[in-house]
Every structure is written in C-alpha cells, then in structure tokens.
Amino acid sequence: MRPEDALAAARLAAAQRDDELAAGMQIEPTERVSIEQLMEWAAIEPDVELMVSTRSLGAPITWFKRAVIHFLRQYFRELQAQQTRFNLNVVIRVAELEDHVARLEEARAADPAPAPPADAAADMPPPRPAPAP
C-alpha cells in the first residue's frame, strides 16, 4: 500500500466496522481524575530499579540495560526535564481553563441573559485573514 492510499484505506475499514453502541447505550466515565493527580503524573520520575528481566539469563540482560541507561543518563535527564516541563504546563493550563469555565458558569447562573437569536452569527463580521508570515 502506498502512503497516499493509507487514509482512504483506513476510512474504508472504519466504515465497514459495525461495533457501534446500540441505541440508548452509552459508556459512562469511570472516574474523574483530579488536577492534583494529574500534576503528580505529569512529573516524570523513572525508577531504574524497576528495570528487570524475567528471562533465564535475566541478570546479565538487566545489568546491560542499566549500563546503557547509565551511559545515556545525561541525554535521558534532558528529555525527562523537557517532557516534565511540557506536562506540567499543560496541566496548569487545563486547571486555569477549568477555573475560567467554572467562573463563567457561575456568572451565567447568577445572571441569566437571554439567548442570542439563531441568526446572530450572520450579523457578525467575517473573520480577519491571518497575517502573512
């Protein structure tokens, strides 16, 4: 298969599937994860002691894996730092957005304004074009 045909093939395969939920059924979320839990998960702290091998010659394989980690530790630490920084910034942004939405919902509940007319979008000016690079 050529890469150009991959998207069309994937869409065709998805269209042929019949594993949709029956009418009236829905999947309930199992639980909502708190922002504190997300913050904890965002910090990447791998434990080298968890690196083991259950093969018959597991000890030399584990020693080799740990030696490779040791030799590449500076590279891995930089990657971990970058990924942790990104993860924490994303979680902070999500928390800010949740707070903003909560404030908007409280304001709307306190002062219910009339809903805009259905054709309000037609009265709005068209969006400005993006600036040229």
Enclosing domain of residue 88: 34-41+56-110
Q: How many domains does the chain have?
A: 1
Burial class (CB in 10 A: 0-12, 13-18, 19+), 60: exposed
Q: Is residue 71 part of a domain?
A: yes
Q: Is residue 82 part of a domain?
A: yes
Q: Is residue 89 part of a domain?
A: yes
The whole model's pTM is what?
0.50
How high is the mean pLDDT of the chain?
Answer: 81
Tokens of 80: 């971990």
Q: Is residue 115 part of a domain?
A: no
CA-to-CA separations, 87 to 16, 36, 47, 84, 94, in angstroms, rounded? 37, 13, 18, 5, 11
User: Looking at the predicted structure, is the pLDDT value of residue 133 above 60?
Assistant: no
> Which pLDDT tens digit goes with each residue over 47-61?
777 777 777 778 888
> Which pLDDT tens digit goes with each residue over 62-74?
888 888 888 888 8
CB atoms under 10 Å from CB of 53, counted, come to 14
| Per-position DSSP letters for 79-131, written without gaps between them | HHHHHHHHHHHHHHHHHHHHHHHHHHHHHHHHSPPPPPPTTHHHHSPPPPPPP
Q: Is residue 94 part of a domain?
A: yes
> Which pLDDT tens digit goes with each residue over 18-49?
777 666 677 777 778 888 888 888 988 877 77
